[in-house]
A and B are shown apart, each in its own frame.
Chain A
């Protein structure tokens, strides 16, 4: 029986889809069988970030309406042997998917795969409720900005109400801005949200360049962001991970500024 992990944030544009694509690819690289589920009905994006947009035939609403089997709607990634994606429908009918539908799909996928990674839409309405319905655990993505952290805090509260345990990824941190005192640090975000940290991904041009090509950064490998995403995937898989160097770097900055390095 696999694990279902929802990637969520409240605010849009903070890196949920990027994290879903990269963590899923990284887990597949590590040898796990992985399905990525695009839960952003109406604003399908995971397919283009993964570079699989030309191969879509069926989508989740076809499965729900019985037009095809779940297995038939899955697209297999050609770069990795054990990675699949279930595309979202582009329908604007907000009732096309219910939490029960999602729970059924996710449970069926968990029976045959190690990880089901769910890309949650922005917001806290129906799409969010659907996306968390089948999830065993959550990864909250936040950028070090007031609006993102505020929205993440709302989501953390809602996840707690639904008994979904959550961990944190701080995305798009700029070490030089933190050093200059012009960006919240990793430890600030941890302290405010009071979540366990999975990792911190730096702002990295390579994410934009690889996304342009429809290639998850972890498959190209070399960038700082890709390395940290790989580490986060290992932590998700429960592997012992070496002390992350760039995160150590942020912590040292924190100490130099006289901040507490760990949450209370």
Chain B
């Protein structure tokens, strides 16, 4: 119950939720990538990385962020190091 009351006070305002949703939607709109294109790109990038280092293809993540009118695309992937395996 206390947790419920706490969350009532710390819950995001609808204004903050709207802002977060907009930033996500705009980041994607601004890339101009539609439908499965982002997924295709992720798979291609995973293949390229896998040619050089050992990775789990599912571990490749793409993040798109936008601030002012600049949009940044970040690819990150955990690799399996030789000592780890």
Contact B15 A182 (CB under 8 A): yes
* B14 beta carbon closer than 8 Å to chain A: yes
Contact A192 B15 (CB under 8 A): no
Residues in A142-166 with C-beta less than 8 Å from chain B = 145-146, 149-150, 153-154, 156-157
Contact A263 B68 (CB under 8 A): yes
Given the complex, which residues of B lie within 8 Å of A182, measured CB to CB? 13-15
* Complex interface: stretch among B22-30, B38-46, B49-57: B22-30
Taking the closest CB of chain B, its distance from the CB of A168, in whole angstroms, is: 13
**Which of B13, B25, B29 is A181 in contact with, Cβ under 8 Å?**
B13
Given the complex, which residues of B lie within 8 Å of A194, measured CB to CB? 68-69
Contact A146 B18 (CB under 8 A): yes
Residues in B1-37 with C-beta less than 8 Å from chain A = 13-16, 18-19, 21-23, 25-26, 29-30
Given the complex, which residues of A lie within 8 Å of B29, measured CB to CB? 150, 153-154
* Complex interface: stretch among A87-95, A183-191, A217-225: A183-191
**Which of A146, A156, A188, A263 is B25 in contact with, Cβ under 8 Å?**
A146
**Tally of A-B Cβ pairs under 8 angstroms:** 44
Contact B21 A146 (CB under 8 A): yes
Chain B residues with a Cβ closer than 8 Å to the other chain, count: 16
* A241 beta carbon closer than 8 Å to chain B: no
**Which of B15, B25, B26 is A184 in contact with, Cβ under 8 Å?**
B15
Taking the closest CB of chain A, its distance from the CB of B8, in whole angstroms, is: 13
Contact B22 A192 (CB under 8 A): yes
Contact A181 B14 (CB under 8 A): yes
Given the complex, which residues of A lie within 8 Å of B18, measured CB to CB? 145-146, 184
* B82 beta carbon closer than 8 Å to chain A: no
Complex: A153 Cα to B16 Cα, angstroms: 19
Taking the closest CB of chain B, its distance from the CB of A162, in whole angstroms, is: 15
Closest to A182 in B: B14
Given the complex, which residues of B lie within 8 Å of A64, measured CB to CB? none
Most buried by A among B15, B25, B68: B15
Given the complex, which residues of A lie within 8 Å of B16, measured CB to CB? 181
Closest to A160 in B: B69
Closest 6 CB pairs of A and B: A181-B13, A194-B68, A194-B69, A181-B15, A182-B14, A146-B18
User: Which residues of A are at the interface with B, using a C-beta cutoff of 8 A?
Assistant: 145-146, 149-150, 153-154, 156-157, 178, 180-185, 188, 192, 194, 263-264
7 further interface pairs, Cβ-Cβ under 8 Å (given A180-B13, A183-B15, A194-B69): A145-B18, A146-B22, A153-B29, A154-B29, A181-B13, A184-B22, A192-B26
A-B contacts, 30 listed (Cβ < 8 Å): A145-B18, A146-B18, A146-B21, A146-B22, A149-B26, A150-B22, A150-B25, A150-B26, A154-B29, A156-B69, A180-B13, A181-B13, A181-B14, A182-B13, A182-B14, A182-B15, A183-B14, A184-B15, A184-B18, A184-B22, A185-B15, A188-B19, A192-B19, A192-B22, A192-B23, A192-B26, A194-B68, A263-B68, A264-B67, A264-B68
